[in-house]
Amino acid sequence: MTNEMTNIVVEVLPRFEGYVYPNEASLHPLWGFLIVLYPYITGLVAGAFIMASLVRVFKVRALEPVYRLSLLTSFSFLLCATLPLLFHLGHPERCFEIMMTPHLTSPMAIFGFVYAWYLMAVLLLELWFDYRQDLVEWAKVTPGFKGIIYRAFTVGVTDESPPAVALDMKMGRILSVVGIPSAFLLHGYVGFIFGSIKANPWWGNGLTPIIFILSAIVSGIALCVFNYMVLTWIRRHTVDMRCLDTMAMFLFYALVVDAAVEGLDWLHRGFAAEEGFSVMQIMIREKLFYTLNLGQVTIGTLLPLLLLGPLQLLRRRVPELVRRRMIFSSAVMILIGVLAMRWNVVIGGQLFSKSLRGVMGYKLEFAGVEGWWLGVVLLSLPFIILTVLVKLFLSERLPSSGHIPQDSAAGEG
């Protein structure tokens, strides 16, 4: 009986089961893979910045080697953060209306300002104050085009007197302090874009922004671990283990908090079992089975917890090579897991009808604006920008955390 009835719907609306509002079939899903990438990239920005601020604000000296790398990572991803949104608009040529004539009750409009604030007032300025003295030095000794770039970035401020350098330091610290709430605001606001949709029981939730912030911190630290290890491998340098272990420690604790809050969210949803809960169960059991249970929970949370947790207790007993591999694979798994989490939120929220009577399918296409090919391009772009920035602005010799490698220590002993 149900099948016959369903068939009537299927004739008109392919890839649907049960009843969905007719308009929900028109462009499905409205927000595709690009909008999955948008919170992912923004989260990496915020997370990498928090990582950098650990050095500046919280004085975690062990992380000194990755301070500038984290800032550059954050910056290069921030430059690309709005691209997925822009590609997705029906009228991209009108995008500046968001800034020129914003509608102040809209989370999306406010995001434009939060983004601009973060890019212009926080990240660019902090990078500039941090680099100014170096830029002046480099401009003196570097010939050719590269020298011109360095000179241009000094913006003519070449004062290297101790008071000027002290002012740089002070401004950098102030900007870092301002930057932490700004990073929270940036990504919390992305979470709010989804959390504010009360029409959608999958999204409309007070915890959504908080979960977005926490998963952003986790993914940002994981990205810094990934970038740092890849960079040292490319440059054939040794990994500073004290720095890496400290990153792994912060990664682990951030992941514990993130997993706890996400678990709490699900506990609450299951316990309250409000109107849309039966549809959500179908999502978990069928529609999002692989990306949620395998991607987000197993690969993105449980396995990294199992790898990083014991490392916190038995760090000294695990050889450095094994530790490096464990931490690197945890970082990669977390990066995959958080991408899966963004997928589950964005795509998952559109796989059921707001009538709560039907579910829909989604097949990611290869080409086109919503295809995965453009997604891969957009996801590679920040890495390309980062490569250029690292070439220009990251010295071959990273600052040391004062760690003595295990092999040489053993040799000396």
Token pair 């010295």: residue: 395
**Residue 25, interface with another protein (CB under 8 A)?**
yes
CB of 89 to another protein, least distance (A): 5
Exactly one of 336, 356, 381, 394 binds another protein (CB under 8 A); that residue is 356
**Does residue 147 touch another protein according to CB under 8 A?**
no
- Is residue 112 part of the contact set for another protein (CB under 8 A)? yes
Instruction: Give the dihedral sign, CA 132/134/139/143.
Output: negative
Site membership for another protein, residue 353 (CB under 8 A): yes
Closer residue to another protein in complex, CB, 115/150: 115
Cα–Cα distance between 276 and 279 in angstroms, integer?
A: 6
The span from the CA of 80 to the CA of 389, in Å, is: 14
Exposure string of 32-46, with b = 16+ CB inside 10 Å and e = fewer, is bbbbbbbbbbbbbbb
| DSSP symbol at 402 | S
Give least dist CB 155 to another protein, A.
17
> Nearer Cβ to another protein, position 325 or 354?
354
Residue 93 or 412 having the CB closest to another protein: 93
Best CA proximity match to 42, nearest among 127, 121, 108, 90: 108
Q: What is the spatial distance between Cα 327 and Cα 335, in angstroms, rounded to a whole number?
A: 12
If one counts every other C-beta atom within 10 angstroms of the C-beta of residue 117, the result is 15
CB of 185 to another protein, least distance (A): 17
At its nearest, how many Å lie between another protein and the CB of residue 76? 25
Cβ-based neighbours of 83, under 8 Å, separated by 6 or more: 378, 381
Tell me if 354 contacts another protein by CB under 8 A: yes
Q: Give the binding-site size for another protein (rule: CB under 8 A).
A: 53
Give yes or no for residue 4 binding another protein (CB under 8 A): yes
Which among 87, 76, 118, 120 is positioned nearest to 381, based on CA atoms?
76
For another protein, the closer CB: 107 or 399:
107
Cβ 370 to another protein, closest distance in Å? 12
User: Rounded to the nearest whole angstrom, what is the least distance from the CB of residue 231 to another protein in the complex?
Assistant: 37
Structure tokens at 359: 């579910």
The burial class, CB within 10 Å (0-12 / 13-18 / 19+), for 92 is: exposed
Residue showing tokens 């395998």: 294
116 binds another protein (CB under 8 A): no
What's the rounded Cα separation, in Å, for the pair 171 and 165? 10
Q: Any contact of residue 98 with another protein (CB under 8 A)?
A: yes
Q: Choose the stretch contacting another protein; rule: CB under 8 A; options: 6-14, 68-76, 136-144, 222-230.
A: 6-14
Binding site for another protein (CB under 8 A): 1-2, 4-5, 8-9, 11-13, 19-27, 30-31, 85, 88-92, 94-95, 97-98, 100-103, 105-109, 112, 193, 196-200, 275, 350, 353-357
